[in-house]
């Protein structure tokens, strides 16, 4: 097992992310040794660690007199390419094995969509439900419906008690020392040299059990809610444990189903189905999209946008309260929940015309769970619509109205969420129209967006001009918003 600095230079990662990966690797190595395996483990600052996968593997092949090189399919295209090229350079035989960590094979995904014009997540999700029998009664979905979304997604009530979360404190000063010794670049903060992310299976299982019994009862209901007061709400915080393979997706789903069977009064089916859809549906779907579309996916830029990400994305220092909170929280915890990523930071980047490479660089660096297969499909696809509609049938964007409805951010914001063209008007309101007008040619024929242009066309020309002027001036002053 190799801590490699090659993994720290393709993008600048959050310090908690680097530390969590190294700590989880080290714990896993110890577990393997305790089980009687022989493990070679190299620290990132160990003398002679070149930081290159190829060089380190070559050295081990010679020093251990290895007769055959075998590896499991990695999750990233970059690494798959590197490993398959490495194999062609070897004078010993090599073999690659499929990964056991997902529920849908790469070929299975391709076969499901063969001959279809669009990659509809819903059709994939239903296929996965049928294939696995999860939440099924024979060939019918449990509860008579595939999707209970309309019962979910409420705003938080004004009198709201923050849910308790397990108190995990992993002291990682030795890992931090190694990161410092190796001069690895990083972003974000870490408090008291400790992280609250799980770094072994016991901790991952503790978070999973806590989620299934205490948070799942409200998961779907408040899935889209956002508040200044709490970063995690009823979200599971399991993405790192899943992506680092401390947990298998099936055991996550089964634990939640067991909790529901034990206590159906407390956990309604809509909460359970909403959660299962994230793991069995979205997570597997994103992986399928990644492997069916790479490497060209990493260069898609449907709107042909060029703008650089404003500097305040790296500091959180913006007057826009929603962005200030979502960014600050990301720098502090290496975490933001889905709607903060999609409808706050992603929404702003889309409306402002930020280059998708810049968007990817930010998302891939900052989040504890960011690994390219799931980051790029969510960012370039779902959030930025840079794939022109492979993942989503229309861009996910909104004016201030959505953020106002789903959060308490606007109440504490110097901008006015209700107006478009005043000096203190919320930037989302004019940028929303600016985005649609400048991309009219690319979007107008989309049946899900056509109505938007009808509304725009009905506005008075002087109002239209004022909105576009406001949008122009905001984009010119983007660093000072």
Q: List residues near ligand FAD by CB under 6 A.
A: 235-239, 242-243, 278-279, 282-283, 286, 337-338, 341-342, 346, 363, 367, 369-370, 374-375, 378-379, 382-383
DSSP E strands in 307-389: the ranges are none
Query: Which residues contribute to the site for ligand SF4 (CB under 6 A)?
Result: 320-322, 400, 403-404, 409-410, 413, 415, 417, 426, 428
Closer of 255 and 425 to ligand SF4 (Cβ): 425
400 beta partners: none
Residue from 179, 241, 174 nearest 15 by CA: 179
Closer of 7 and 369 to ligand FAD (Cβ): 369
Closer of 414 and 447 to ligand SF4 (Cβ): 414
Tokens standing for residue 325: 């909170």
Using CB distances below 5 to 8 A depending on partner kind, what does residue 382 bind out of ligand SF4, ligand FAD, none?
ligand FAD
Closer of 320 and 331 to ligand SF4 (Cβ): 320
How near is the Cβ of 224 to ligand FAD at its closest, in Å?
10
Using CB distances below 5 to 8 A depending on partner kind, what does residue 398 bind out of ligand FAD, ligand SF4, none?
none
Closer of 239 and 293 to ligand FAD (Cβ): 239
Determine the Cα–Cα distance for residues 468 and 428; give it in Å rounded to an integer: 12
Using CB distances below 5 to 8 A depending on partner kind, what does residue 321 bind out of ligand SF4, ligand FAD, none?
ligand SF4
Using CB distances below 5 to 8 A depending on partner kind, what does residue 428 bind out of ligand SF4, ligand FAD, none?
ligand SF4
End-to-end alpha carbon distance in the chain: 45
Residue from 212, 234, 253 nearest 337 by CA: 234
Using CB distances below 5 to 8 A depending on partner kind, what does residue 237 bind out of ligand SF4, ligand FAD, none?
ligand FAD
How near is the Cβ of 409 to ligand SF4 at its closest, in Å?
4
How near is the Cβ of 408 to ligand SF4 at its closest, in Å?
9
Q: What is the dihedral of CA 295, 296, 297, 303, to 10 degrees?
A: 160
Using CB distances below 5 to 8 A depending on partner kind, what does residue 238 bind out of ligand SF4, ligand FAD, none?
ligand FAD
**How many Cβ atoms sit within 10 Å of the Cβ of residue 29?**
15
Using CB distances below 5 to 8 A depending on partner kind, what does residue 413 bind out of ligand FAD, ligand SF4, none?
ligand SF4
Closer of 238 and 413 to ligand SF4 (Cβ): 413
Closer of 51 and 310 to ligand FAD (Cβ): 310
Determine the Cα–Cα distance for residues 284 and 125; give it in Å rounded to an integer: 9
Cis peptide before 295 (omega within 30 of 0): yes
Closer of 354 and 370 to ligand FAD (Cβ): 370
Q: What share of the chain is helix, strand, coil (3-state, %, to 5)?
A: 55, 5, 40
Residue 382, CB-side half-sphere exposure with 13 Å CA sphere: 22
Classify residue 67 by its DSSP letter: S
CB 359 within 8 A of CB 379: yes
Closer of 178 and 283 to ligand FAD (Cβ): 283
Q: H/E element holding 111?
A: helix 106-113
Tokens standing for residue 74: 């990695």
Using CB distances below 5 to 8 A depending on partner kind, what does residue 436 bind out of ligand FAD, ligand SF4, none?
none
Residue from 374, 351, 148, 122 nearest 239 by CA: 374
**How many Cβ atoms sit within 10 Å of the Cβ of residue 479?**
10
Determine the Cα–Cα distance for residues 12 and 300; give it in Å rounded to an integer: 22
How near is the Cβ of 342 to ligand FAD at its closest, in Å?
4
How near is the Cβ of 382 to ligand SF4 at its closest, in Å?
20
- List, in order, residues 6 or more apart from 375 with CB less than 8 Å away: 360, 363, 364, 367
How near is the Cβ of 340 to ligand FAD at its closest, in Å?
8
Using CB distances below 5 to 8 A depending on partner kind, what does residue 242 bind out of ligand FAD, ligand SF4, none?
ligand FAD
How near is the Cβ of 49 to ligand FAD at its closest, in Å?
27
């Amino acid at each position: 097992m190799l801590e490699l600095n090659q993994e720290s230079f393709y993008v600048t990662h959050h310090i908690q992310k680097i530390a969590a990966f190294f700590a989880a690797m080290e714990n896993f190595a110890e577990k393997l040794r305790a089980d009687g395996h022989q493990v070679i483990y190299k620290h990132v600052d160990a003398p002679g660690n070149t930081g290159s996968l190829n060089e380190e593997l070559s050295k081990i092949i010679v020093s251990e007199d290895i007769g055959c090189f075998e590896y499991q399919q990695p999750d990233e295209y970059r690494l798959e390419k590197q490993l398959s090229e490495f194999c062609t350079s070897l004078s010993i035989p090599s073999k690659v094995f499929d990964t056991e960590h997902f529920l849908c094979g790469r070929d299975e995904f391709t076969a499901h969509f063969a001959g279809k014009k669009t990659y509809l997540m819903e059709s994939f999700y239903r296929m996965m439900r049928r294939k696995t029998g999860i939440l099924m009664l024979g060939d019918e979905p449990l509860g008579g419906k595939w999707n209970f979304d309309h019962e979910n997604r409420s705003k938080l009530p004004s009198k709201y008690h923050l849910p308790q979360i397990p108190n995990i404190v992993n002291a990682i000063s030795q890992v931090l020392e190694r990161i410092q010794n190796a001069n690895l670049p990083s972003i974000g903060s870490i408090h008291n040299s400790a992280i609250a992310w799980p770094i072994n299976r016991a901790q991952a299982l503790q978070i999973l059990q806590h989620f299934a019994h205490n948070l799942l009862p409200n998961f779907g209901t408040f899935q889209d809610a956002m508040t200044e007061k709490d970063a995690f709400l009823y979200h599971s915080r399991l993405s790192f444990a899943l992506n680092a393979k401390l947990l298998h997706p099936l055991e996550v789903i089964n634990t939640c189903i067991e909790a529901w069977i034990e206590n159906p009064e407390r956990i309604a089916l809509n909460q359970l189905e909403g959660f299962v859809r994230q793991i069995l549906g979205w997570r597997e779907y994103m992986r399928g999209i990644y492997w069916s579309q790479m490497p060209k996916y990493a260069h898609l830029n449907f709107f042909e946008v060029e703008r650089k990400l404003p500097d305040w994305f790296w500091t959180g220092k913006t007057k826009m309260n929603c962005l200030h909170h979502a960014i600050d929280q990301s720098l502090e915890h290496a975490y933001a929940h889905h709607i903060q990523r999609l409808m706050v930071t992603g929404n702003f980047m889309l409306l402002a015309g930020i280059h998708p490479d810049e968007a990817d660089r930010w998302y891939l660096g900052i989040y504890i769970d960011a690994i390219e297969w799931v980051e790029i499909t969510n960012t370039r696809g779902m959030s930025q619509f840079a794939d022109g509609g492979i993942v989503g049938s229309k861009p996910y964007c909104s004016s201030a109205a959505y953020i106002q409805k789903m959060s308490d951010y606007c109440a504490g914001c110097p901008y006015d969420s209700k107006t478009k063209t005043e000096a203190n008007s919320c930037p989302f309101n004019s940028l929303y129209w600016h985005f649609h007008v400048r991309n009219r040619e690319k979007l107008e024929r989309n049946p899900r967006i056509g109505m938007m242009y009808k509304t725009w066309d009905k506005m008075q020309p002087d109002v239209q001009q004022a909105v576009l002027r406001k949008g122009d001036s905001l984009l010119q002053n983007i660093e000072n918003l």
